[in-house]
């Protein structure tokens, strides 16, 4: 049987110019010069004035998009010239054509399907399909996961009615108006849909996730052709209807800004976007970079194809953008007229991954899109050269059983009692990094207290004063494996004395908790980011009242919103126990060997005490809602004098950064020097800021125990593609950091790739910084060339934990679009 390479190509994008105020391309200028000719374009505007111009300066408006500021329209040459030069218009793109580049698939005859099975138990015919054997979805089915409840949109040529397919709904974007007639009249979309969701047990194929809610988005016609408008309308519909996964078995070799913006929009809203890498490869393309768009975008999971020999398919595109590989040769699936067909291409590989993600989504309903991508990679078998490579990405996903999973997840780390009153105890911990981690269970005697699966703290109320309690914290994975657990002990405080007959309110004792007894376990290695800021792991939180004194004016910028001017002084030491020297000096020594001027070593964690059961008189705890870690400032009535609570002699009660320093101290981001100072105005090196940034979100990343203390942070920075210079230069690690570099790193940690003034615009627009001007935020007021002080660095990091996306993100490989950046003037 001849192999047929099915794929969709954006071939007409080769003639697509991106139109902006920089000028009109020769291609568009030539076509616009034809008298009376109209152009079908997509107009992306910046603001309401731009929208009004797009609507008014068009011959006919075809569609207005819901999720991006854009319209599709027909314009004459004069209107086109005006729009391109309008400062309120971001850009204009030609409404180019998409087309199918395959020959025809090979039908295998009548299906003879007599019904479908709601419980997938693949029959003998289905089991021998090589792609089924490789992926082994039945392993997940046996655990009860079929993709149920997961909404999958297939943006393609539609989906035809077929006994093996259950279509939940859909839309057609082909033609002048949207319609509900999404029936496939080409065959490609139906073939793709069957790989994802064919219901096994009675037919000839088994989809990877037969329980999904399958939606057909018809963006290509019977001839296999469609337009950019049709595809973008399909993405628009999928975003509005809150799909969980979008499959795009299509691609081309030329960029489209609007297509890029749309898949980024979907990804930012938690939708997984899967696309075929393309069929532009060759047998010798190991070192080539042939991945097509939209798979080339960072927000899209790019899928390459393998053959029956588990080798890279000759036709499959390759390159550093390949994320994963899947079966893509001689794949049998559903087809038109109740038939089945066999075809090859990365169009067939992509839906395998879409189905795999649907299974993992059902199994891990709490996981974010970025977390699911990491979980997917954890199931990949490594092929090719060790590590990620251009042919297979992270490898080929398989759920094959090598015996039942009986391995429990890692324990929580840093578990301790973070706060106590006369009738309550608050526990805090750091979650493990296991991809299949599900929840924490807290045992207080035989009872299990429910905890939000990803929470990092829990408060027990209704306890007896002056009573010892012992809790066991275990972790559970999605298979049900439970760890042995760690012990956390705590003691409630005495009821505070009262001078009148009024009954003191519950918990009205001293706000300063007693030092906790906690079980300490070794930190997990390289934990994955969690969706929320970590709980503090120190045994005695520092409670500092809000300081009413504002930041100093003049040479120093206003700090409360994240800005700030640079201070002089020698470079600060490593913020987590390393030594330090002057700016540009030698690398900091390891924490175990403090030198003169080095920060004092942190108080060692208490040893694990014997498990003490509660006194018989202790009341059974209630089951309150999970509470946040006790890290915020206490109420005014419970506050003690600030100077007695923060052990740094150079931080006065009126210092603008006192709250920020207290916040950092509570979380172990700073520990101070042996002389009792923290040196808030000292300059900060790249290594020190990087350590602050990473530890704020991932506290289990520790100083390196050998070599340079900052090696572990630079290793993590490499994984995240952060814009650091010290990864290859030891000297760069100790050089003082400028504020514009900080802006670039903050943007990168939030998942954006901006440099220079664009990075400054981003952090100002996101509220991560405020600039020095009290009247207007400008690029000049940010003072990007000034060096950063220790207190300012901590303020920036604190702002990111409060206003960022909640976890460290990987910086995209290509520059992020600037159309969404706020219009902030240069200033002077």
DSSP string, 628-647: --S-SPPPGGGPPPGGGT--
For the stretch 176-184, contacts whose Cβ atoms lie closer than 8 Å and that sit 24 or more positions apart, written own/partner, are: 176/62, 178/233, 178/237, 181/218, 182/158, 182/216, 182/217, 182/218, 183/158, 183/159, 183/218, 184/156, 184/157, 184/158, 184/159, 184/160, 184/216, 184/218, 184/336
Cβ atoms < 10 Å from Cβ of 378 = 14
Helix axes 48-56, 77-84, angle to 10 degrees: 170
Active site residue 191: no
Residue 385 CA to residue 388 CA, distance in Å, equals 8
Q: What is the largest CA-CA distance in the chain?
A: 95
State how beta strands 213-218 and 167-172 pair: parallel
| Active-site pick, 102, 156, 244, 264 | 156
Q: How far, CA to CA in Å, does 788 sit from each of 425, 583, 657, 740, 782?
A: 39, 11, 14, 10, 12
| Active-site pick, 62, 188, 260, 352 | 188
Residue 140 CA to residue 135 CA, distance in Å, equals 10
Nearest-10 Cα torsion for 376, 378, 382, 383: 0
- Bond into 308 cis (ω within 30): no
| Active-site pick, 347, 370, 457, 537 | 347
Does residue 187 contact residue 105 with C-beta atoms inside 8 Å? yes
**Which is it for the CA torsion 538, 542, 547, 552, positive or negative?**
negative
Active site residue 188: yes
Q: DSSP label at 790?
A: H
Does residue 37 contact residue 31 with C-beta atoms inside 8 Å? yes
Nearest Cα neighbor of 208 from 72, 329, 88, 353 is: 353
SS3 801: helix
Helix axes 739-749, 756-765, angle to 10 degrees: 60
Provide CB contacts within 8 A for 76, sequence distance 6+: 36, 37, 38, 39, 59
Active-site residue list:
156, 188, 347
């Amino acid at each position: 049987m001849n192999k047929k390479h099915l794929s969709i190509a954006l071939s007409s994008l080769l003639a697509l110019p991106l139109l902006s105020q920089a000028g009109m391309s020769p291609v568009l200028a030539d076509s616009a010069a034809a008298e009376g000719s109209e152009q079908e374009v997509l107009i992306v505007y910046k603001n309401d004035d731009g929208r009004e111009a797009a609507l008014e300066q068009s011959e006919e408006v075809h569609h207005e998009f819901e999720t991006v500021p854009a319209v599709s329209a027909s314009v004459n040459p004069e209107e086109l010239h005006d729009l391109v030069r309008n400062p309120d218009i971001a850009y204009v793109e030609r409404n180019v054509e998409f087309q199918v580049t395959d020959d025809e698939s090979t039908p295998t005859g009548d299906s003879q399907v007599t019904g479908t099975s709601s419980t997938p138990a693949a029959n003998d015919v289905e089991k021998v399909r090589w792609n089924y054997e490789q992926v082994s979805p039945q392993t997940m089915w046996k655990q009860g996961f079929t993709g149920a409840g997961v909404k999958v949109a297939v943006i393609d040529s539609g989906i035809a009615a077929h006994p093996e397919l259950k279509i939940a709904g859909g839309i057609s974007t082909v033609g002048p108006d949207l319609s509900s007639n999404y029936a496939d009249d080409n065959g490609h979309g139906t073939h793709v849909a069957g790989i994802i969701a064919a219901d096994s047990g009675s037919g000839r194929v088994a989809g990877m996730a037969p329980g999904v809610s399958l939606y057909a988005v018809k963006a290509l016609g019977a001839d296999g052709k469609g337009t950019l408008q049709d595809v973008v309308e399909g993405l628009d519909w999928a975003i509005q209807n809150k799909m969980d996964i979008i499959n795009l078995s299509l691609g081309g070799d030329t960029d489209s800004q609007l297509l890029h913006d749309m898949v980024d929009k979907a990804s930012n809203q938690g939708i997984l976007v899967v696309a075929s890498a393309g069929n532009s490869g060759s047998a010798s393309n190991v070192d080539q970079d042939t991945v097509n768009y939209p798979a080339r975008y960072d927000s899209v999971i790019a899928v390459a194809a393998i053959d029956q020999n588990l080798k890279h398919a000759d036709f499959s595109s390759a390159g550093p953008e390949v994320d994963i590989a899947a079966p893509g040769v001689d794949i049998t699936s559903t087809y038109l007229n109740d038939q089945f067909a066999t075809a090859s291409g990365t169009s067939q590989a992509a839906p395998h991954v879409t189905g795999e993600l649907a299974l993992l989504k059902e199994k891990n309903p709490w996981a974010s899109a970025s977390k699911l991508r990491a979980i997917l990679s954890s199931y990949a078998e490594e092929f090719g050269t060790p590590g990620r490579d251009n042919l297979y990405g992270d490898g080929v996903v398989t759920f094959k059983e090598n015996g039942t999973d009986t391995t429990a997840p890692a324990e929580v780390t840093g578990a301790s009692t973070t706060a106590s009153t006369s009738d309550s105890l608050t526990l805090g911990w750091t979650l493990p990094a296991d991809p299949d981690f599900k929840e924490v269970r807290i045992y207080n005697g035989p009872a299990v207290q429910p905890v939000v699966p990803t929470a990092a703290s829990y408060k027990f109320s209704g306890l007896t004063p002056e009573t010892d309690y012992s809790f066991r914290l275990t972790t559970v994975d999605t298979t049900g494996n439970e760890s042995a657990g760690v012990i956390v002990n705590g003691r409630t405080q005495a009821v505070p004395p009262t001078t009148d007959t009024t009954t003191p309110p519950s918990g009205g004792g001293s706000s300063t908790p007693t030092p906790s007894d906690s079980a300490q376990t070794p930190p997990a290695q390289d934990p994955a980011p969690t969706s929320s800021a970590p709980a503090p792991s120190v045994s005695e939180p520092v409670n500092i009242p809000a300081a009413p004194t504002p930041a100093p004016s003049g040479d120093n910028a206003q700090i409360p919103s994240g800005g700030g001017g640079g201070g002089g002084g020698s470079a600060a030491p490593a913020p987590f126990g390393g030594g330090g020297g002057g700016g540009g000096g030698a690398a900091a020594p390891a924490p175990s060997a403090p030198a003169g001027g080095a920060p004092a070593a942190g108080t060692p964690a208490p040893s694990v005490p014997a498990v003490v059961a509660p006194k018989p008189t202790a009341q059974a705890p209630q089951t309150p809602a999970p509470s946040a870690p006790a890290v915020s400032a206490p109420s005014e009535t419970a506050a003690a004098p600030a100077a007695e609570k923060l052990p740094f002699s150079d931080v006065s009660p009126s210092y603008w950064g006192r709250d920020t320093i207290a916040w950092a101290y509570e979380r172990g981001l700073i520990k101070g020097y042996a002389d009792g100072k923290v040196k808030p105005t000292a300059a900060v090196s790249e290594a020190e800021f990087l350590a602050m940034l990473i530890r704020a979100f991932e506290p289990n990343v520790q100083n390196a125990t050998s070599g340079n203390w900052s090696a572990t942070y630079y290793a993590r920075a490499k994984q995240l593609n952060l814009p650091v210079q010290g990864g290859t230069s030891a000297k760069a690690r100790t050089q003082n950091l400028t504020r514009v570099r900080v802006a670039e790193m903050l943007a990168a940690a939030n998942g954006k790739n901006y440099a220079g003034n664009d990075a400054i615009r981003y952090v100002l627009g996101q509220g991560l910084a405020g600039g020095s001007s009290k009247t207007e935020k400008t690029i000049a007021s940010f003072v990007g060339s000034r060096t950063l002080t220790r207190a300012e660095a901590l303020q920036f990091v604190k702002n990111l934990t409060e206003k960022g996306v909640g976890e460290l993100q990987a910086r995209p490989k290509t520059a992020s679009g600037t159309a969404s950046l706020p219009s902030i003037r240069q200033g002077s």
